[in-house]
Amino acid sequence: MRNAADQTQQDPLDRVRETVRRLAAPDGCAWHGVQTHESLTPFLVEEAAELIDSIERDRPADEVSGELGDVLYQVLFHAAIAERDGEGYSLESVASALNEKLIARHPHVFGERGYMSVEELNAEWERLKEDAAGETRGSRGALDGIPAGMPTLARAAKVVERLKRAKLLDPSAGAGVVGDPLANAAGPDERRIAEVGIGDAMLALVSRANAAGVDPDRALRLAVDRLAARTQPDRAP
């Protein structure tokens, strides 16, 4: 097994990959050795959130680079676990499949399709996904493939966008002011009525955000930041 000194002549990506492999090996780090894909999921979410935070806060390039490296570490770690546990795939197979997918889904760049507008690309990508899955063109539902485990607000935004593309929803149609979601919340079903009203109001705001070209997830994060800055100015980031 190579040690750290032996890695100096390697490509940086090869070096960090070997470092992570060494950590995850049976004779490597005890903590790394007991980790699984499931146990690492919270770390993947956290590292992605920290990268997003550094980008949205316009942090210095070295800080963004460091956060991007932490996300890369998660990718390498999952691949190392798969190799260690004989799950049938490796970083090479992951990279190879990704490269093939990128080329196949961009025939206007790597093929002979020529220039395509963003609208044409969106429609073409859906057809290419159906082809890759062996499905009949047009058989895929507008909401197929949206992960149920997405953060709720981001999932709502994705659902609205998909329905808009499929011409099943016009987000601009409900552009009026959202009414009081608690106006009818009274009586024994007050909690359930309030829940429905607030849910509908939030979804209406997501639709309005789509019509305005605004990412509702980002908008809410920035609003929370502004609230924190107003209420605790000495601790504002």
pLDDT mean over 53-67: 94
Q: Specify which of 106-110, 141-145, 163-167, 230-234 reaches the highest per-range mean pLDDT.
A: 106-110
The encoded tokens of residue 138 equal 């047009």
Residue appearing with tokens 């004989």: 86
pLDDT higher for 73 or 136? 73
Who's near 203: CB < 8 A, 6+ residues apart?
156, 160
**pLDDT for position 39:** 96
Q: Specify which of 181-185, 188-192, 195-199, 209-213 reaches the highest per-range mean pLDDT.
A: 209-213
**pLDDT for position 108:** 87
pLDDT mean over 108-113: 86
Who's near 100: CB < 8 A, 6+ residues apart?
none
User: How far is residue 111's CA from residue 132's CA, in Å, rounded to a whole number?
Assistant: 17
Radius of gyration of the chain (CA): 23
**pLDDT for position 6:** 60
pLDDT-derived band at 61 (thresholds 50, 70, 90) equals: very high
**pLDDT for position 228:** 77
pLDDT in tens, 23-47: 999 999 999 999 999 999 999 999 9
Domains and CATH numbers, the chain: 4-101 (1.10.287.1080), 150-237 (1.10.287)
pLDDT mean over 109-129: 81
How many Cβ atoms are within 10 Å of 162's Cβ, its own excluded? 19
